[in-house]
Chain A
Amino acid sequence: MKNQLNIFRYTMMAVVCLSVVFLSVSCESAFEYELPEAGSIEDTSLPVAAFTYIPNAENFKTLEFNNLSTESIKYFWDFGGGNTSTDKDPSYTFVDGEGSYPVTLIAADGNDETDTLTMMVDVVDKFVPLPVTIFNGDFTDSQNDWKFTSFTGGTTSPFNSSSDGSWLNYDGTDNGSKTKGAKWTKSTSAGAYLSSNTRYAYQAIIVSPSNVERDVKYILEYEYAIKTPTEQAGVAPGGNRVISEILDGHFDDGADAVATTPLSQYVGDEVKGKTSFTLVEQEFTTNESGEVAIMIYAVTDVDLYVDNVKVYAAK
């Protein structure tokens, strides 16, 4: 009998334990939402969607968006045509180029409260060509910055330094007297007089490259003067003339440079006399690398002067 009771007691204990476990499990679902909800307050800090955008420096069609939304953590962007993003600050390329496009931003907070903003964004081609600085463009520093590094079968000496340059300073103001310049003579000429003593002024520059979408145009500007027959006799075969070229690339060896076909060439043969300068504005279209070079030389029997070499973007 004693043993029987003991068995009964264990059974009772097992039943009690099981029912406690069962009760506590069923309680859990009954009280599940009660605690967090008690005393909770309404979300009054609602999201406000806002953004601004900046065109990419390299590609005007790509806009970089800056998210200025407040009280929000999740974002959904719609750029039209099924293109979307969930980044905070996405970039998007409008392949159709210039125009006005609607962009929608939905900003959401942790409670999935949302705010939607649709704004027209403008894709505008605001291309600004690279500025070019010519070193020693007014030749005050003699031959410096105008030499090839080497010249197979020729000379790296670019021209004769001269004190008979233009009366104008490099910034266009009148100097009141002659400035320094560059000079070519019969013995330093090319053309019929081509020799190992022929001199070429050379300077490598970097310009904004042209591409399929855009031709970028620059202007090579300089002044030249050729002595009149009364000042000095003699006419070279083909006429006394200065030749300015824009070369396709940068060159170390002058021989390679002379052998290439230039992007642009101009021949100046205005004979007005010493210190009476003629202004040249030679327009050229840049290549795809943006690496071009200026080369200036002359074919002349008489003294020929060049001054104030500049390169700037065409309007």
Chain B
Amino acid sequence: MKYIKFLIVAITGFLFSSCDSDEFLNPLPDSAIVAETFFQSDADVLAGLIGIYDAVQGVNENTESSNARYNRGVQLEYLLTEHRSDNTRSKTLEGSRADFHRYIVEDDNIQSEDYWQSMYEIIFRANNVLKYVDNAEEANLNKYSAEAKFLRAYAYFNLVRLYGAVPLVTTVVGPTEKELLFTRVEESKVYEQIIADLQEGVQHLDDKHKSRASKAAAQGMLAKVYLTLPTPNYAGAKELCEAIIGTGNLELEENFRDVFYKELNNEIIFAIQYLSGNPDESQGFSSEFTSYKRQGRQDGLNIVNPNLAEDFIAYGGNRTAVSYAAFGDDADLAVPENAEVIKFLPDGSDISDSDLPTYGDSPANAGNDWIILRYSDVLLMHAEAIMEGQNTTEASAIDSYMKVRARAGFDAVDDRPNVLTIDDLLLERRVELAFENHRFFDLLRFGVAHDVLSAHAEEMGYTSYNMRRLILPIPAREINLSDGILTQNPQ
């Protein structure tokens, strides 16, 4: 035992030396801002960029069931858009999801709050990437920054059309900088920023991706922005649509159903991807659109209004059978009262038996992509840009319109009109792009939202409708946080 002293010293020394690492004695404090150290390399910036798409993608309702703000992203957008148009409604009248179609959304509506927050999450992440984009390789710098700006523009374009003037944040700001975070900026300024951001996309992006920003996506979205402006830039929109058409990279799918069930097909310009069966990467809206045989936590939503079914029957062509379906007693009606959207049926769905539809193994974790921009939208925008708000006999406008009609099964010669009217175009957009969250914005853009929706509200008995309902109230939560800086829309 005489060596015990040496042993103790040796062991103690060993223990000391093993503790002597930077990490152990200097752990990263919990309060440190990771972002400042995260972006070191080109790969890090790219990872940050991909993270913005995660914000657009949103969190599946069936994964995180909390009703509180949960960044559902694009997954609940149909409530704020389709439900507020004459296209669809909620079957039940319970809960805040049933407020949209009846025009009774108040400033405490949880889904509106969630959407607002989701859009600003996209904006925050984009601004964050832009702050650290210099760490990327020189060759990728413009591309990365254009991609982040494209997504920021996407979020602002949605916000400005739904909420009017909104706070315009283009840098990373802390929660204490309330003036910057909450001061509403007039719509024209927001549009200036959107246009500047998208123009960078047109200049620096390429057409490599469909599930990420591309040149065509930036061109298409910018064309829509130009058409949406209070004084539309028709010439600019026409040029952009023609540039997209001119590349020859895109074509209409021969079979309308394939647009929705062949992922990233020839017609898709920009889509948000989901993975079937994966709770973190899947979407919940496919199951939310079921009603007759309910799937998922929320359902009976985006139910097709009879008024839309009538338009489908008259003008839908072969799109009708693959856009909506009626089950049970409704299947026997000429115009179903309660039809369901079938553009996004989950994997393995079989609806051939209208009394016994099935929806595969994991309907609540569906993998169907969400299409943000596709080629037929661009073709119809091309016609819209040429028409400049007037009926037209211009052959090139009618050509683009007829391409979409012909795919739907109409005859390119016999069904070709001599005069293309604004009403024809709006109707065509309604049946071609139904359930893809275009209708509400189309009505606004064509300047007929109040006329169409007041008549629709009267027909459906939605007595709360008035012109103020065309703009959503700013979420009360945001106003409360702003210490009175953020102002409310007319109520």
Tell me if A71 and B488 are in contact (CB < 8 A): yes
**Could you list 18 further interchain pairs (A-B, Cβ under 8 angstroms) beyond the known A66-B466, A70-B490, A89-B466?**
A44-B484, A45-B484, A45-B487, A45-B488, A50-B490, A52-B467, A66-B467, A66-B468, A67-B468, A68-B467, A68-B468, A68-B490, A69-B490, A70-B489, A70-B491, A71-B487, A71-B488, A171-B418
Task: Check if B450 is an interface residue, CB within 8 A of chain A.
Answer: yes
Which A residue's beta carbon lies closest to that of B417? Answer: A171
Cβ of A117 < 8 Å from any Cβ of B?
no
B466 — which chain A residues lie within 8 A by C-beta?
66, 89
Nearest neighbor of A67 in chain B, beta-carbon distance = B490
Which residues of A come within 8 Å of B, CB atoms?
44-45, 50, 52, 54, 66-71, 89, 171, 173
Task: For A52, list chain B residues within 8 Å (CB).
Answer: 467
List B contacts of A50 (CB < 8 A). 490
Query: Helix, strand, loop or mixed for chain B's interface?
Result: loop
Q: Closest residue of chain B to A43, judged by CB?
A: B484
Residues of chain B lying within 8 A (CB to CB) of residue A68:
467-468, 490
Nearest-neighbour CB distance to chain A for B485, whole angstroms, equals: 9
Interfacial residues, chain B to chain A (CB-CB below 8 A): 418, 450, 466-468, 484, 487-491
Query: What are 24 A-B contacts with C-beta separation under 8 Å?
Result: A44-B484, A45-B484, A45-B487, A45-B488, A50-B490, A52-B467, A54-B450, A66-B466, A66-B467, A66-B468, A67-B468, A67-B490, A68-B467, A68-B468, A68-B490, A69-B490, A70-B487, A70-B488, A70-B490, A70-B491, A71-B487, A89-B466, A171-B418, A173-B418
What is the CA–CA distance of A68 and B450 in the complex, to the nearest angstrom?
14
For chain A, what secondary structure do more than half of its interface residues adopt (helix, strand, loop), or is it mixed? Answer: loop
What is the bound-complex CA distance between A19 and B452, given in angstroms?
72
CA distance A44 to B484 in the complex (A): 7
Alpha-carbon separation in the docked complex, A185 to B468 (Å): 64
The total number of A-B Cβ pairs within 8 Å is 26
Question: A136 to nearest B CB, angstroms?
Answer: 19
Give Cα A69 to B467, complex, Å.
Answer: 12
Residues of chain A contacted by B468 (CB below 8 angstroms): 66-68
* Chain A, residue nearest B471 (CB): A68
4 closest Cβ pairs, A-B complex:
A66-B467, A68-B490, A44-B484, A70-B490
**Could you tell me the distance between the alpha carbons of A52 and B450 in the complex, rounded to whole angstroms?**
12
State the CA gap A205–B93 with chains docked (Å): 43
Across-interface contacts of B490 in A (CB, < 8 A): 50, 67-70
Q: Bound complex: CA of A52 vs CA of B466, how far in Å?
A: 12
A173 nearest CB across to chain B (Å): 8
Chain A positions within 8 Å of B487 at CB level: 45, 70-71
Complex contacts, A69 vs chain B, CB 8 Å: 490
Using Cβ atoms and an 8 Å threshold, which residues of chain B touch A67? 468, 490
Q: Which residue of A lies closest to B490 (CB)?
A: A68
Complex CA distance for A269 and B467, rounded to whole angstroms: 56
B491 neighbours in A (Cβ, 8 Å): 70
List of B residues within 8 angstroms of A173 by Cβ: 418
Chain A residues contacting B418 (CB-CB under 8 Å) are 171, 173
Q: How far is the CB of B453 from chain A (nearest CB, A)?
A: 13
> In the bound complex, how far is the Cα of B447 from the Cα of A37, in angstroms?
48
- Closest A-chain residue to B418, C-beta based? A171
Which B residues lie within 8 Å of A54 (CB)?
450
Q: Which of A50, A68, A173 has the most CB of B within 10 A?
A: A68
A68–B164 CA distance with the chains assembled, in angstroms? 13
| A89 and B465 alpha carbons, distance in the complex (Å) | 12
In the bound complex, CA of A71 to CA of B474 (Å) = 12
Residue of B nearest to A65 (CB): B467
Nearest CB on B from A110, distance (A): 13
In whole Å, how far is B102's beta carbon from the nearest beta carbon of chain A?
18
Within 8 Å CB of A66, what residues of B? 466-468
- Cα A52 to Cα B217 in complex, Å, equals 36
CB of B356 to closest CB in A, whole Å: 44
Query: With A and B bound together, what is the CA distance between A68 and B487 in angstroms?
Result: 13
CA distance A173 to B488 in the complex (A): 56
- Rounded to whole angstroms, the CA-CA distance of A68 and B466 in the bound complex is 10
What separation, in Å, do the CA atoms of A50 and B487 have in the docked complex? 15
A64 to B, closest residue via Cβ: B467
Which residues of B sit under 8 angstroms from A171, Cβ to Cβ?
Answer: 418
Q: Across the two chains, which residue of chain B brings its CB closest to A45?
A: B484
Alpha-carbon distance A94/B490, docked complex (angstroms): 26
Question: In the complex, what's the smallest C-beta–C-beta distance from A218 to chain B, in angstroms?
Answer: 21
Q: How far is the CA of A5 from the CA of B301 in the complex (A)?
A: 83
Looking at the assembled complex, report how far the CB atom of A50 sits from the nearest CB atom of chain B, in whole angstroms.
7
On chain B, the residues within 8 Å of A45 by CB distance are 484, 487-488
Complex: A255 Cα to B162 Cα, angstroms: 61
Q: Measured between alpha carbons, how far is A212 from B484 in the docked complex, in Å?
A: 55
Docked Cα-Cα span, A116 to B487, in Å, equals 18
A70: chain B residues within 8 A (beta carbon): 487-491
Residue of B nearest to A73 (CB): B491
Q: How far is the CB of B450 from chain A (nearest CB, A)?
A: 7
When chains A and B are docked, how far (Å) is the Cα of A294 from the Cα of B488? 57
Complex Cα distance A30/B353, Å? Answer: 78
Shortest B198–chain A CB gap in Å is: 30
